[in-house]
Amino acid sequence: MEETAERPAHRIVIDTDPGQDDAVAILLALASPEIEVLGITTVAGNVPLALTSANARKVCELAGRRDIPVFAGCDRPLARDLVTAEHVHGRTGLDGTDLPAPAMPLQPAHAVDFLIKTLRAEPAGSVTLVPIGPLTNIAAALARAPDIATRIGRIVLMGGAYFQVGNVTPAAEFNIHVDPEAAAAVFACGAPITVVPLDVTHKALVTPPRLESFRAMGTPVGAAIAAWTGFFERFDKAKYGAPGAPLHDPCTIAWLLAPELFSGREINVEIETEGRFTTGMTVADWWRVTDRPANALFLGDVDADALFTMMTARLATLGA
């Protein structure tokens, strides 16, 4: 679809569990004229649902976008107890800077109902879903309304890993680990999928110069991003010995904006739901050693310098 003054190139719903890096992804989308955010749906993940729903609205208000509707979704995985990540993101999920309590209200509809209604109302193939947390809301919508699978333009998700394996268990990445049944359902739905795994996001590091470029924006948005990334890098730097924290979730929005910065393969991806040690593992057939048909574009690399140059330029426009 060509970008026009009337309709941006990408019309998206962001499904999220903010999380500092989720917040940066939302801000990047709102800073990009090629993208129209139809709504934000929240899910329990990094922190419980009440906090993710408040955090999404705080981020919209930070960007000056109280017009973005925010819908609360599922407060627990489909079939498991909720696992959260306060040890990474802090008690609020957005620790690092204090944002005021949101003034904008949550929408009365449930996130799953909004997803179904939107996908049925919009032209088939015109809406992209960008899940950057556990996939519970997306799977619940597909289970309730299987017809929407053929109406999804693409699902661009942050989750999983192949070469990096796992970050919450030896085998599993956090978003998939929280609700592997949901992830398995999404990968089986037949919609086009782009996967932004740890293999990519662990190359998108907020090094000290990149952190300083956020701070140097001189805007409330830049100050918040610098404070957030400065907070959660304490965990990743200690864990991986890296020079900065991975900025996971914004890579999904960046792929929509500049796919040429990324490389990957069309492969088969399945999710392990029963393994004794490997539940939540992303079984990515990177080397195509099975005859299972490809069901996802699985990204493997990114030009990190170009990525951060683009993101910094976009984010600097918010509140400037």
User: Is this structure's pTM higher than 0.85?
Assistant: yes
pLDDT tens per residue across all 320 residues of the chain: 344 446 789 999 999 999 999 999 999 999 999 999 999 999 999 999 999 999 999 999 999 999 999 999 999 999 999 999 998 888 999 999 999 999 999 999 999 999 999 999 999 999 999 999 999 999 999 999 999 999 999 999 999 999 999 999 999 999 999 999 999 999 999 999 999 999 999 999 999 999 999 999 999 999 999 999 888 665 565 566 667 889 999 999 999 999 999 999 999 999 999 999 999 999 999 999 999 999 999 999 999 999 999 999 999 999 76
Structural class in CATH, domain 10-315:
alpha beta
DSSP H helical ranges for the chain: 20-30, 49-62, 86-89, 111-121, 136-144, 174-178, 180-187, 198-201, 208-215, 220-240, 250-257, 304-315
Single-letter residue type at 143: A
CA dist., res. 292 & res. 289, Å (int):
9
Which sequence spans correspond to the domains of the chain? 10-315
Other CB atoms within 10 A of residue 126 CB: 15
Answer yes or no: 177 catalytic.
no
